[in-house]
């Protein structure tokens, strides 16, 4: 079973995503175990402070090192060999081959969601990997963590219904997009399903699908 811990100031953001669809099924079938750690609980003082102004001036607040260190140490007490991953727009780009490799490497993960305008750089001493999901800036790492986690969990053995549906679909080789697909009815508002798909000729169907698989831009 793959163990995934998530350190965040917004645990409620994960509820819908982790408890629906494949992620829910994966937990039910004990393929994955999620644990959400609320960074606020590691905040300092009676107000549970987690952020402060940057030395040298500048806009915004930074996540302070102490709460992040305590939360990561807490996660490591649950799982000492887990890899610590920081979600940050400065990270390495997340791509499908990485999802495949992280799904199959047997490693457990601690995802740390950055928030606000940034974090104290010293937390990087506890981080094994920095990941970004693309060249745009999100308010926090939560949506990125969900994206990365979903892309891994669906590839864990036993999660997808048809065992080869993850293989043939879009991006499984990192380049090709899936062919167009159709279901009933045969004619919908004057729009027809391509004849070849109704032909029962598997060789012709395979050829059509190959021809109609688009390359990713």
The answer to whether residues 131 and 188 touch, using CB atoms and an 8 Å cutoff, is no
By CB under 6 A, the residues from 55 to 114 that bind ligand 6GU are: 87-89, 91, 114
Q: How big is the site for ligand 6GU, counted in residues (CB under 6 A)?
A: 15
Nearer to ligand 6GU, 65 or 140 (CB): 140
Shortest spacing between CB 105 and ligand 6GU, in angstroms: 20
H or E element, residue 142 = helix 142-153
Rank residues 16 and 134 by Cβ distance to ligand 6GU and give the closer one: 134
Residues 6+ apart with CB under 8 A from 199: 205
Site string for ligand 6GU, 139-178 (x = CB under 6 A): -xx--x----------------------------------
Confirm or reject binding of residue 118 to ligand 6GU (CB under 6 A): no
- Between 82 and 86, CB nearer to ligand 6GU: 86
Q: How many residues does the chain have?
A: 217
Q: Report, in Å, the least distance between residue 88 CB and ligand 6GU.
A: 5
Decide: 78 and 37 in contact? Cβ < 8 Å. Answer: no
120-137 CB burial, b ≥16 within 10 A, e <16: beebeebbeebbbbeeee
């Amino acid at each position: 079973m793959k163990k995934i811990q998530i350190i965040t100031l917004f645990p409620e953001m994960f509820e819908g995503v982790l408890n629906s669809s494949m992620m829910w099924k994966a937990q039910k079938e004990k393929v994955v175990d999620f644990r959400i750690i609320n960074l606020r609980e590691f905040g300092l003082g009676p107000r549970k402070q987690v952020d402060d102004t940057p030395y040298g001036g500048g806009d915004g607040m930074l996540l302070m090192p102490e709460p992040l260190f305590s939360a990561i140490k807490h996660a490591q007490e649950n799982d000492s060999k887990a890899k610590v991953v920081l979600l940050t727009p400065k990270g390495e780009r997340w791509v499908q081959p990485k999802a495949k490799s992280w799904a199959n490497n047997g490693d457990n993960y601690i995802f740390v969601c950055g928030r606000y305008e940034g974090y104290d750089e010293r937390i990087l001493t506890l981080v094994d990997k920095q990941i970004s999901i693309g060249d745009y800036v999100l308010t926090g790492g939560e949506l990125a963590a969900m994206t990365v986690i979903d892309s891994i969990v669906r590839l864990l053995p036993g999660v997808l219904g048809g065992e080869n549906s993850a293989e043939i679909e879009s991006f499984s080789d990192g380049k090709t997009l899936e062919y167009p697909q159709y279901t009933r009815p045969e004619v919908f508002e004057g729009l027809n399903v391509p004849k070849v798909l109704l032909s029962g000729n598997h060789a012709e169907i395979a050829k059509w699908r190959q021809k109609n698989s688009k390359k990713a831009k």
